[in-house]
Amino acid sequence: MAEPILLEMRGVKIEGQTGPDWLPIIKGVDLTLRKGEVLGLIGESGAGKSTLGLAAMGYKRGGCRISGGSIKFDGQELVGATRNDLRALRGRRIAYVAQSAAASFNPAHNLIDQFSEGPMIHGLADRSTSQAEAVALYDAVQLPEPRTIGFRYPHQVSGGQLQRAMTAMAMACKPDLIVFDEPTTALDVTTQIEVLAAIRKAVSELGTAAIYITHDLAVVAQMADRIMVLRYGNLVEEADTRRMLSAPQEAYTKSLWSVRTFEATPKPASDPAPLLQVENVTAAYGDLTVLHDISTKVQTGRTVAVVGESGSGKSTLARAITGLLPPKQGRIVMDGKALAPDFRRRGKDDLRAIQMIYQIPDTALNPRQTVAQILARPARFFTGLSGKALQDRVDDLLALIDLEPGVFRSRLPGELSGGQKQRIGIARALAAEPRLIICDEVTSALDQLVAEGILRLLDRLQQELDLSYLFITHDLATVRAVADSVVVMQYGKVVEDGPKAQVFSPPHDPYTELLLSSVPDMDPDWLTRTLEARG
Amino acid sequence: MSDPIDTMVDQAPLPIDTETKLRRFWRLLKAAPLSVWFSLVVLACYAVLVVFAGVIAPFPETEIVAGSFLPASAEHPMGTDALGRDFLSRMIYAAQNTVLIAIVTTLISFTIGGFLGLLAATLGGWLDQGLGRAVDVLMAIPPLIFALLLLSIFGTSTLNLILIIALVDATRVFRMARAVAMGVVVMEYVEAALLRGEGLLWTVTREVLPNTIAPLMAEFGLRFCFVFLTISALSFLGLGIQPPAADWGTMVRENAALISFGEMTPLYPAAAIGLLTICVNFIVDWLLKISSGLKE
């Protein structure tokens, strides 16, 4: 720890404007970063980790202000620094890598031109020199064909490649500090591991200091030398990575660490009759065939998890089952009866039996309807209740999802937290009294603690109501927690299908093996070990 | 059994806005800029004139009460027109004629255009294509020429005037409503409604319409101004509101020549049109601003 201090924050306070009031976002946080050190910032959404990360560049989002404290970068005070002073630092000495590379690149220019922008603006290099450096850095972040890939446009490379190109771009001026804001959150596990490896290699080779922001503990364990846990704009705990992982001190940190221990209630060993059977389903969007001859089944009262990376066709399978995308071939059999391919041709009872819960609760609930309206409509539509009986049913549904009816009945979705919204989404599905609920990535948009609450709730409801779930997810931790059997999909085909214990224990299909080994462990040596094992 | 921290995270009541919609509106109104307050006062004056035209106007609308082209005097504050009718009284009656027609026309154009637009967005397919191309054809013809053409075919009654302007305007409203609704119909709550077998009318009015209402309201204010200008323009060309009924457009035309004699008579109705347009736009701009700010 003899390295000199690069970034020093003292009592930083940041406030955000809501209406006429300023509400605190960061409530006085201290942060010290030495040269070449990687600091992990973790916390749930709303903890203020992105705001703090941006403050390291002296930047605040629109509607925010830094209301106190000091931010010193290499001895220079950033709070109250002039625009020109900040401009001289940003890109040159402090760089930023955003979560969504796709939204951060300008789609109208090729990668290498955007790479050269920084060095040219800061007068470090001319175009040809910086292009030569780009090739070297593209090589360092392990992009394929480093010589030519820069001349492609953002839409011509994959998401993981784009994220690596952005990391290379952040390094263009050889900055002293890079702020990584959830750089792998939007990526599949198999892509994530490549990006993590590339970032770690590049950072250590150039001796750059980094602030690595994420909500994923296993990821931060691979990347950071030291971890800071934030909650509600306060620092909860700070320690070296290994000590933090082995001996967390605060109750909140411990709860974060224990999240991944949830296990669904074990089911009896019997082999219940199949409720839903998918028989040789082939489906296509126009000429593009997305599902190839899919067959699987869901048993009554059991959970089937469908896993695969983005583009594997798992959401399309849900659309085929619900009838939104009528299959070209094959059929969907529910309880021994073949369903009409198109949902418009299905009867009310068929529609009622299969309900959906969506990934993003914000778009799944009508923002102009109150919770009571959202729940009452399907209850009335399917069960014909009205008046007092309908109101009681709404209250029962709210009680079922652990929300106090008196408090939540008259609220609009905008007045609910993410987890509460997702609970309302579950209650809306329950209102129809379905047999099968299709859960489409229901926990992906939620923080880990909240997600665990949702999984617990779904598990309890399954016990109480004898529900069957088709659980679509890309997150293998979720699969381990909830599934009775697992369907692994790749390129629209079923790679493996069987009971969880069988799919998750060797020998694996090669793709399942790749998928399983790409999920980070909470062990700081996991990345190194995995990369070595893969050669 | 649920984890204590989980319960805390997920069930902590959020700070909820307890103020009613009316109170919130009042709070926002109090913070509104001067232009909005000015516009509200002006609109209130217009409203009083429209409602109580018969009581306020000193002379009847079409009666000849004095010599022609009298200059302003105590009895006739704006003088008289070519036939000797009191100009001030005609200004007041014109407010009633023009504004009422504009409101009715805008309502009709929004009912037709808005409903079809939402329907086209929700259903998609051939209906969307059919309506879209039909509207393209109508929009390809310059609106004023199109209105003139229809008016000369069907005659210049007030009813025809309203229907024709409403039709021409409905094409723009259709475009707007469809574009806004396209962003709403892809939402999963609409999918959920369709998947549970809800009827089309229910889906459109309960799921789609409430989420498109804010931009549509703003468009309503703007369209109202345009209708108003169209009527004035048509009247100026002699195909709008027919004499002897008073309206501002006609009054500009009839007295336009006076401007070369240093008379400001034609400027009064022109100013009345301009002022109303500006004030409505001020308020619409403000409504747009606060509704986008409230959308969370």
Chain B residue closest in CA terms to A359: B188
DSSP letter string over A173-230?
A: T--SEEEEESTTTTS-HHHHHHHHHHHHHHHHHHT-EEEEEES-HHHHHHH-SEEEEE
Overall domain count for chain A? 2
A25 in any annotated domain: yes
Model confidence, pTM: 0.79
Provide the mean pLDDT of chain B.
Answer: 84
SS3 A285: strand
Tell me what percent of the residues of chain B surpass a pLDDT of 90: 29
Q: So what's the pLDDT on residue A69? A: 86
> Domain containing A413 — which CATH number?
3.40.50.300
Would A488 be classed as within a structural domain?
Answer: yes
Residue A344 falls inside a structural domain: yes
How many angstroms separate the CA atoms of A324 and A188, rounded? 26
Q: Which of A257, A286, A320 is the last residue of a domain?
A: A257
Reading the block at residue A59, the tokens are 């930047």
- Do A175 and A233 lie in one domain? The reply is yes
CB-nearest to A453 from B2, B13, B14 is B2
Could you tell me how many helices (H) and strands (E) chain B has, helices first?
13, 0
User: Superfamily assignment of B89-294 in CATH?
Assistant: MetI-like (1.10.3720.10)
Residues A101 and A182 grouped into a single domain: yes
Cβ atoms of residues B116 and B174 within 8 Å: yes
In whole angstroms, what is the distance from residue A53 CA to residue A65 CA? Answer: 14
pLDDT digits (tens, 9 = 90+) for A230-258: 988 888 888 888 888 888 888 888 887 77
> Do A236 and A281 reside in the same domain of the chain?
no
Average of per-residue pLDDT values in chain A: 87
Minimal Cβ distance to A368: which of B2, B194, B210: B210
DSSP state letters, A480-510: HHH-SEEEEEETTEEEEEEEHHHHTSSSPPH
Residue A260 confidence (pLDDT): 63
B289 touches chain A (CB under 8 A): no
ipTM, interface predicted TM-score of the complex: 0.77
Could you tell me which chain B residue has the CA closest to the CA of A352? B196
Q: For A472, phi and psi rounded to 5 degrees?
A: -90, 125
* SS3 readout for B28-60: HHHCCCHHHHHHHHHHHHHHHHHHCHHHHCCCC
**R_g (Cα) of chain B, nearest Å:** 24
> What percentage of chain A reaches a pLDDT higher than 90?
30
Distance CA B85, CA B58 (A): 11
SS3 content of chain B, % helix, strand, coil (to 5): 75, 0, 25
pLDDT grade for B155, boundaries at 50, 70 and 90: confident
Q: Which residue has the higher pLDDT, A518 or B108?
A: B108
Q: Given a cut of 50, is residue A404 above it in pLDDT?
A: yes
Of A262 and A95, more confident? A95
For residue A372, what pLDDT is reported? Answer: 92
Give me the domain span that covers residue A201.
Answer: 5-257
Q: Which of A257, A288, A318 is the last residue of a domain?
A: A257
Residue partners of A199: CB distance under 8 A and separation at least 6: A141, A164, A167, A180, A183, A223
In this predicted structure, which of A45-54, A343-352, B150-159, B171-180 has the lowest mean pLDDT?
Answer: A45-54
Query: What percentage of chain A's residues is helix, strand, coil (to nearest 5)?
Result: 40, 25, 35
Position A59 pLDDT exceeds 70 = yes
**Are B9 and A449 an interchain contact pair (Cβ–Cβ within 8 Å)?**
yes
* B125 lies within 8 A of chain A by CB: no
Q: Tell whether the model's pLDDT for residue A259 goes beyond 70.
A: no
Length reported for chain A: 535
Rounded Cα–Cα distance for residues A155 and A147 (Å): 18
- Closest partner residue to A419 among B10, B197, B198, by Cβ? B10
Q: What is the pLDDT of residue A527?
A: 87
CA distance B23 to B25: 5
Tell me if A130 sits within 8 A of A120, measured CB to CB.
Answer: yes
Min Cα distance A46 → chain B (Å) is 12
Indicate whether A513 belongs to any domain.
Answer: no
Are both A209 and A314 inside the same structural domain?
no
Mark yes or no for CB contact A363/B13 under 8 Å.
no
- Stretch A285-312: mean pLDDT, rounded? 89
The answer to whether residues A104 and A205 belong to one domain is yes
Q: What is the DSSP letter of B203?
A: I
Q: With contact defined as beta carbons under 8 Å apart, do A16 and A25 qualify? A: yes
Contact B9/A450, CB-based, under 8 Å? yes
Residue A387, domain member (yes or no): yes
Does residue A526 lie in a domain region? no
Average pLDDT over residues A97-106: 84
Residue B3's pLDDT is 39
B136: contact with A, CB 8 A cutoff: no
Q: Does B195 touch chain A (CB under 8 A)?
A: yes
pLDDT at B8: 39
Decide which of A222, A257, A292 is a domain's last residue.
Answer: A257
Q: Are A326 and A317 in contact (CB under 8 A)?
A: no
Q: What is the mean pLDDT of residues A115-140?
A: 89
Whether B207 and A366 lie within 8 Å, measured CB to CB: yes
From A343, A360, A417, residue closest to B14, measured CB to CB: A417
pLDDT attached to residue A19: 67
Domain contains A232 = yes
Distance (Å, whole) CA B53 – CA A325: 61
Closest partner residue to B192 (CB to CB) among A251, A356, A450 is: A356
- Identify the CA nearest to B122 among candidates B171, B177, B168: B177
**Chain B contact probe: residue of A339, A342, A368, A463 with most B CBs at under 10 A:** A368
**Chain A residue nearest residue B214, CA to CA:** A368
Domain assignment present for residue A264? The answer is no
Work out the percent of chain B whose per-residue pLDDT is above 70.
91
Strands A234-240 and A226-231, sheet pairing: antiparallel
